Chains A and B, each alone.
Chain A
Amino acid sequence: QKEVEQDPGPLSVPEGAIVSLNCTYSNSAFQYFMWYRQYSRKGPELLMYTYSSGNKEDGRFTAQVDKSSKYISLFIRDSQPSDSATYLCAMSESQGNLIFGKGTKLSVKP
């Protein structure tokens, strides 16, 4: 079993839809949870950053962490074509050694 599992998709939704992306993990020592967005032929960029359990909201984006279930989610409201990208979850115990999921490719159709 891999440390971090993420459905690779692809996921295709119409503009304006609510998107739900998620990852599961096996290491209960993970404390820091991140979502990175990666556009084609670009480097990943940090989108959301959460410490321990709970929710965090930033504009149209909401990140949720459920440590008891070892499950994290990213919700995108009112999705836009500009949200089309690959979304990578990442996790860390503390030292910056990030473990990434393989990424979910999202396409938002106008």
Chain B
Amino acid sequence: DAGVIQSPRHEVTEMGQEVTLRCKPISGHDYLFWYRQTMMRGLELLIYFNNNVPIDDSGMPEDRFSAKMPNASFSTLKIQPSEPRDSAVYFCASSLFGTGRQNIQYFGAGTRLSVL
């Protein structure tokens, strides 16, 4: 398996623009997670899905952020409108269902977002 695939790897945009980040989890995995990593705050969970259903979105910072998982092999994280403080590295991760197994998360290479 190719692992978790994220696109784009880098995104530079201007304040106010819509940004869409994409993720393809490992085939067969039941859980999908979106994280944001910054120097100040470290790695923070934004939202996670189980079997394509959002389970916990309490980490989503504002209504400008939204995430969808239309099927088991694809998820998007959208920021509209984007702001400079959204600049960060966004990671997607996936894992299998099972007692404790959902903690064994496999991360993608991340999308480095810069909002000017």
Show the binding face of A for B, using Cβ within 8 Å.
32, 34, 41-46, 49, 51, 88, 90, 92, 94-103
Contact B42 A103 (CB under 8 A): yes
Is B61 on the interface with A (CB-CB < 8 A)?
A: no
For B42, the chain A residues whose CB sits under 8 A away are 88, 100-103
Residue of B nearest to A102 (CB): B42
Which of the listed residues A32, A44, A49, A51 has the most CB atoms from chain B within 10 Å of its own CB?
A: A44
In chain B, positions 24-43 with a C-beta closer than 8 Å to chain A are: 31, 33, 41-43
CB B87 to nearest CB in A, in angstroms, measures 16
Chain B contact patch, size range: 20 to 34
10 closest cross-chain pairs (CB), A and B: A96-B102, A43-B107, A102-B42, A100-B43, A32-B103, A92-B103, A44-B107, A43-B109, A43-B110, A43-B108
- 26 A-B residue pairs with Cβ-Cβ distance under 8 Å, sorted by A, are A41-B109, A42-B110, A43-B91, A43-B107, A43-B108, A46-B105, A46-B106, A49-B103, A49-B104, A90-B103, A92-B103, A94-B99, A95-B55, A95-B56, A96-B48, A96-B102, A97-B45, A98-B33, A98-B105, A99-B45, A100-B43, A101-B42, A102-B41, A102-B42, A102-B43, A103-B43
